[in-house]
Amino acid sequence: MAMGGQNNNRGVMAEINVTPLVDVMLVLLVIFMVTAPMMQQGVQVNLPKADTKAMTPAEESVVVSVDKNGKIFIDKDEVPAGDLRQRLSVMFASRAKKEVFLKADAGVPYGEVVRTMAEIKGAGIERLGMVTEPAAK
């Protein structure tokens, strides 16, 4: 039972041990799966289901409009851009159904529409519907 200098048919291993590699890859996969949803930025919008019926707003629903000049309206009343969030917060403070429909002119820059959507969502509105006209066939 001599240890040490005996030849016991153990040579140099020429194989790669893949177990640590698999462990590291699984850890990286979990990290990316957890952090990927946090990296997404944008405004959350509830998209309608694919349906051919037109969406009609209810009588008590609020419509925020952005005209071609960038002016913002709540129903028919013009609102300064900085006051939109506060006005909507006050309007919906006592309402159970927090839903707003957004109408924007086709000529309004995309950034202005997104800013308006962010202000609406910042006021605590849970559902935001985009109002469009049907495409010509």
Domains of the chain: total: 1
CATH number, domain containing residue 74: 3.30.420.270
Condensed to tens digits (0 to 9), the pLDDT of residues 35-61 reads: 877 664 433 433 333 444 554 554 467
In-domain check, residue 11 = no
87-103: average pLDDT: 85
Condensed to tens digits (0 to 9), the pLDDT of residues 64-89 reads: 888 888 888 888 888 887 888 898 88
In-domain check, residue 78 = yes
Residue 114: how many other CB atoms lie within 10 Å: 12
In-domain check, residue 26 = no
- Report the candidate in 129, 118, 134 with the shortest Cα–Cα distance to residue 49: 129
- Whole-model pTM over 0.85: no
In-domain check, residue 49 = no
Enter the tokens of residue 79.
Answer: 């609102």
Domain of 106 in residue numbering reads as 62-130
Q: Are strands 72-74 and 77-79 parallel, antiparallel or unpaired?
A: antiparallel
**What Å distances lie between residue 95 and 33, 53, 79, 82, CA to CA?**
37, 27, 20, 22
CA 80 to chain centre: 26
Three-class SS of residue 49? Answer: coil
Can you give the pLDDT at residue 135? 58
**What Å distances lie between residue 51 and 47, 48, 54, 103, CA to CA?**
11, 8, 8, 20
